[in-house]
Structure 1
């Protein structure tokens, strides 16, 4: 099926490429005919065609844009042809207003010369010549302009070609190719050696997507060291035993083939490989034997690394010892690296020679094992860096919202989780303060009874749940009416400061099974303990901020916060040419209330008035305590009529209010002064001053009334 899909995709790509080629030729004619000149009258057709050229150009880029030199075909030039036509369309459309746009075609020519073989550029360059000559032939450019343009294009192409043919450029390119090939070979060899199959216990499950250092990118020094050690040891063996060749054959990680990883030889007919598993002498080492010696050698058990099996008299091969095979990652322990040597003579191999080969095989295995340990240390360093980075960001958060966001990020840095949530205790319930993952939008902000779900149990016993961190179907993590489904690994951790009561819970779920090993759980418990402290500090920080902006007695914003908020509202209304109303309110005869009924009762009056103002204000309005018995209310988007109606409603509600006192019911009234932006002023100080004058008039005229400021 996959092969069929590839054939269909290839067929579709060929069709698109041919259509793009035809479209490119049509574009050449339209440019040459002057359809994109400022004086042209075919705008609809021309720009429709330009849109198609852009579309097919993007399709060509997605498909790779042109064939490689070994796959060159006539229609393979569709990509460069479309790009040339597109650039010329832009150039000719705006050349009259921006002559400097000639840099676009000049730059394109240079880029094409760098990026494509000359045989692929024949059609695009003929198209360029055709468009330029056509524009001259139809009187859209002078002969001097034609010559100048062609000269500029030719200079760009020749200049780039000269640069590419220079010795310095060739050397840089050769070095870049060698470096890329070496890096690729280094990564492949590192995987073959198993340098990345094992990690330190506590760090072996960290996700790879967020590594500070790519472990494979750092494999080159380890591979080079191991390769140098192998080459040296193999040359020592060859000279000591007077062999023609000593080779180390290493199986790939899938156990499908042997690769020639190191060789010391005097022969020239070396086959580079890879070689089939079981080919030649390697097949004899797939059974119980750990060493095979042949003298004379037979064709069926020859060495696989020669192009011709001539002059091979004896073969000696050993399998690297079993106690070092764990890093190979094969179920069949018989598929192992093979150290193989041969010589022209047919004399039998001595016990001393066999012993030397066995010892060398053990030494090679120890070298790889040591390389693995060094690479594991590098991975450990990288992982510790990630842990420190996550903890540093968490420790740097102050506000509760920042703490929660930093927690999510820290957990994702350490675990490839599909679902994460943080629940915080609120009295007799726990609330989902933050959640990320499938279905998180349905949970965010929801409250559940404190004893509900796994979270409730974790809060109760202060221990992680469930046992073994496994999930076997829909689970009541938060409450009875919500089930977490589709996850096989689940861990709910208490947010607990030292030995105190849990203040919340951290839930982490992964769709894969057996993710939360003991080391991983230990890391998450460490994170959870740190989060508990930071959540407590974040809540305290928020409370401090709240106290700094809120009047402690009435719960309304204080005078300083009102001043800042009023500034913001004025700027917003000025930007959208709106209006707002400013109400200054004063409780009538408040000093007499304090003197007659006492200050505690006066505080109660202040709270009741503040409550009425708070209920009257919308979410976009501003209600605050201005000072003493004075209050302020700013109504966004409200003119004089709306402000007066609101003020009158507040006044009447307070007038109807009856406050009980041991000496009898008490009634109070409120006087209000109104000033409107922009009718009565456009700056904050003037509006406050005029609202205050209106309030003064209200009190002077008998109190318990609303007065709008007016010019005296």
Structure 2
């Protein structure tokens, strides 16, 4: 055999392109070679075309067979003597088609491809047509076929293993065949009920089987979920018993999925160590029962953890720890050996009395506390010796050593994880640039490190160091609406004391519901509280307040880490405030507090682009204080600055929140008004002009009044580009100044006289 006949297999992990190239090197199927040879002999096609045609026919064979033979079913071609040539031919064709589908599926499965809907539909169609051919061949024109039930069984099988959509399509195919058979037989009215009954049975079998299968799958998943939950609860209880975790309320939830996996792994390792120790004891001491009983947290009960025994009567439920030989080992903290008729074997539920018993307590190396008991017994009257006791004591010590080792590993892992989380928290805070980002980052960091049901950030007032304000609250159920924005003095409440004394409070554990926390405001529903000052250098600037519904939620070590995080958060807040201040200085005018000229140009570009994109109106107002040079010359520049600030304040009040009010330069101001036409802009302009005219500035020379001229241009009527709009508004402004000042002029009003003159 030549090497070309050896199939080339794709390596594990090969890409689809590699698999396709290797597939071209595989031997072609028999059918493909046969079709290619036929086409070649006939000389109908070239070599590449013949190969493509052969592959197409091979791929299409199942569909052709299903359609062709399915079309013969309504014609009742197969109603002939059983195993006649029509049936044999049809079954042969269907077998070949089924083989083609199966071969293709095996090849695609080897390549790692899932079954497509087309493949499933072809496979199902072949089965359905084969079932009808078989059923029709047994009918032979004598009414109900003996093989009609095969159709129902095939349909149930297909619905169970194929996709739901494919199963529904196959049910439709079967129903169509039933109705076509009835129609091709003359569509007699008295035969219609039989066709309907057959169609109904096909549908009912499919639906019922699918429903039963779905119910079984759902039940299996439910049982699996229940088993997993039961195992997780057992692991949690074992973790508490082995002191791998601190006992917590039943409703307490793990805050870190990684901790849960550590506990699970530690419990599994301890169980393996316990099982190995018991197997050694069973083999070395030739005992009947070898078991480990663990002492409950309240030290009142013993609970079976693992055992090796042929007896089914070992107590699976907890029993009192002070009874029998096991109780003596717990009370005395030493090994107990008994032989003869042992009456103290309380761990047997059927009252069995072994003839020899040895119980060794599990003593903690530090403090000598009893954690459990390892017991072995014999049914023969062969007492345990000193060597047996030393061996069992050594195994008990190994069990405790395994528990301590897992506890130590867990503590090391947890400490490393907390350290990593601590440094990540510092990095996250250092990346923040805005106060709101600092608040959010600090809350998230606190929630990762300690239980948090309530949190708040309190900062000193900028203009009054003796007052503080709640700037952000997390946990709405504890009074967020009432607390956010609440201000109080540093001389009141726990928060004020923590800021004033620069220390973590409270030292003890007060009741937050009865203790004033924020001034005279208390917190309800919390049993744990911790206040950490936020300091910049040596100066406290605020506090982080944390609360939890669980008692004793804040251990010393996490609080120390949080205190360091709080200091970094205060530094981040200081940087954020400086960033905001720098940003304000870069975008606002120092004298008036309005947007400066550079920022005005950027905002005008943005609003103009939006107006062009969405087809909206936009107006621009340019305004100038009349005779402002004479104000400076007569009253001095300080009074001129006072006038500029007063005018800027009025502009800011009368403009809308969506408008951009800017100092354009000198005594000139500008207002960008999005989604505003000329009429709306003129209303605002007139309101501003009237308000400016009513302003009175007190000076050493007496009261001073000023007026203002305004020019209005609107997009797109007065210009579609920024330069055009500014030029039109500036032209309207100078028209107002040349024609008497103290007036508002729009570009539309200047166009009207020209149109009238024309």
Q: TM-score, normalised by structure 2?
A: 0.62
Deviation of 1:518 after TM superposition, in Å, equals: 3.2
Counterpart among 523, 540, 555 of residue 502 in structure 1: 540
Structure 1 CA distance for aligned equivalents of residues 565 and 276 of structure 2: 48
Distance 1:111 1:180, change over 3 A: farther
Q: Which has the higher contact order (CA 8 A, sep 6+)?
A: 1
Is residue 470–residue 513 contact of structure 1 (8 Å, CA) maintained in 2?
A: no
CA RMSD across the alignment: 4.9
2:497 aligned with 1:457: yes
Is residue 433–residue 444 contact of structure 1 (8 Å, CA) maintained in 2?
A: yes
User: Residue 194 of structure 1 corresponds to which residue in structure 2?
Assistant: 242
Is residue 288–residue 310 contact of structure 2 (8 Å, CA) maintained in 1?
A: no
User: Residue 332 of structure 2 corresponds to which residue in structure 1?
Assistant: 288
Deviation of 1:185 after TM superposition, in Å, equals: 8.9
Deviation of 1:673 after TM superposition, in Å, equals: 0.5
Name whichever of 442-451 and 149-158 sits farther off. Answer: 149-158
Equivalent position SS for 1:479: coil
Structure 2 CA distance for aligned equivalents of residues 450 and 284 of structure 1: 61
User: Residue 301 of structure 1 corresponds to which residue in structure 2?
Assistant: 344
2:686 aligned with 1:651: no
Structure 1 CA distance for aligned equivalents of residues 200 and 612 of structure 2: 56
2:263 aligned with 1:219: yes
Across the two proteins, how many residue pairs are aligned to each other?
562
Deviation of 1:268 after TM superposition, in Å, equals: 4.1
Give the 5 Å matches for 1:680-699.
680-681=718-719, 684-699=722-737
Is residue 708–residue 742 contact of structure 2 (8 Å, CA) maintained in 1?
A: yes
Distance 1:469 1:526, change over 3 A: farther
Structure 2 CA distance for aligned equivalents of residues 678 and 566 of structure 1: 14
Deviation of 1:582 after TM superposition, in Å, equals: 2.3
Structure 2 CA distance for aligned equivalents of residues 614 and 289 of structure 1: 84
Is residue 355–residue 380 contact of structure 2 (8 Å, CA) maintained in 1?
A: yes
Name whichever of 282-291 and 667-676 sits farther off. Answer: 282-291
Distance 1:478 1:676, change over 3 A: same
Structure 1 CA distance for aligned equivalents of residues 686 and 386 of structure 2: 113
Is residue 257–residue 274 contact of structure 1 (8 Å, CA) maintained in 2?
A: no
2:316 aligned with 1:316: no
Structure 2 CA distance for aligned equivalents of residues 514 and 192 of structure 1: 17
Is residue 530–residue 545 contact of structure 2 (8 Å, CA) maintained in 1?
A: yes
2:514 aligned with 1:474: yes
Equivalent position SS for 2:399: helix
Measured against aligned partners, the alpha-carbon deviations of 1:318-345 in whole angstroms (never above 9, x if no partner) come to 121255689xxxxxx76x4221223354
Equivalent position SS for 1:624: strand
Is residue 249–residue 261 contact of structure 1 (8 Å, CA) maintained in 2?
A: yes
User: Residue 32 of structure 1 corresponds to which residue in structure 2?
Assistant: none
Equivalent position SS for 1:477: coil
Deviation of 1:142 after TM superposition, in Å, equals: 14
Distance 1:512 1:639, change over 3 A: same
User: Residue 258 of structure 1 corresponds to which residue in structure 2?
Assistant: 303
Is residue 315–residue 349 contact of structure 2 (8 Å, CA) maintained in 1?
A: no
Name whichever of 400-409 and 357-366 sits farther off. Answer: 357-366
Deviation of 1:233 after TM superposition, in Å, equals: 3.5
Deviation of 1:537 after TM superposition, in Å, equals: 0.9
Measured against aligned partners, the alpha-carbon deviations of 1:601-648 in whole angstroms (never above 9, x if no partner) come to 544443333222123223233211123332112345654344324323
Task: Flag the structure with larger Rg.
Answer: 2
Measured against aligned partners, the alpha-carbon deviations of 1:142-189 in whole angstroms (never above 9, x if no partner) come to 97999699589859969998xx99xxxxxx99xx99996996598267
Distance 1:567 1:153, change over 3 A: farther
Distance 1:324 1:656, change over 3 A: closer
Distance 1:679 1:443, change over 3 A: farther
Name whichever of 300-309 and 443-452 sits farther off. Answer: 300-309
Distance 1:521 1:468, change over 3 A: farther
Is residue 270–residue 307 contact of structure 1 (8 Å, CA) maintained in 2?
A: no
Counterpart among 535, 558, 563 of residue 525 in structure 1: 563
Distance 1:572 1:357, change over 3 A: same
Deviation of 1:247 after TM superposition, in Å, equals: 2.9
2:616 aligned with 1:586: no
2:435 aligned with 1:400: yes
Gaps of 5+ in 2: 1-155, 163-170, 183-188
Equivalent position SS for 1:468: coil
Structure 1 CA distance for aligned equivalents of residues 500 and 626 of structure 2: 53
Give the 5 Å matches for 1:339-354.
339-354=374-389
Is residue 474–residue 483 contact of structure 1 (8 Å, CA) maintained in 2?
A: yes
2:742 aligned with 1:704: yes
Q: TM-score, normalised by structure 1?
A: 0.66
Is residue 187–residue 216 contact of structure 1 (8 Å, CA) maintained in 2?
A: no
Structure 1 CA distance for aligned equivalents of residues 606 and 494 of structure 2: 45
Gaps of 5+ in 1: 1-108, 116-125, 166-171, 327-332
Deviation of 1:441 after TM superposition, in Å, equals: 1.1
Measured against aligned partners, the alpha-carbon deviations of 1:457-489 in whole angstroms (never above 9, x if no partner) come to 333222233342523653332334x34444443
Is residue 252–residue 259 contact of structure 1 (8 Å, CA) maintained in 2?
A: no
Give the 5 Å matches for 1:309-388.
309=352, 312-321=354-363, 323=365, 336-388=371-423
Measured against aligned partners, the alpha-carbon deviations of 1:53-95 in whole angstroms (never above 9, x if no partner) come to xxxxxxxxxxxxxxxxxxxxxxxxxxxxxxxxxxxxxxxxxxx
Equivalent position SS for 2:671: strand
Distance 1:571 1:262, change over 3 A: farther
Give the 5 Å matches for 1:101-116.
none
Deviation of 1:406 after TM superposition, in Å, equals: 1.5
Distance 1:338 1:573, change over 3 A: same
Structure 1 CA distance for aligned equivalents of residues 432 and 350 of structure 2: 66
Deviation of 1:400 after TM superposition, in Å, equals: 0.8
User: Residue 557 of structure 1 corresponds to which residue in structure 2?
Assistant: 595
Is residue 513–residue 522 contact of structure 2 (8 Å, CA) maintained in 1?
A: no
User: Residue 709 of structure 2 corresponds to which residue in structure 1?
Assistant: 671
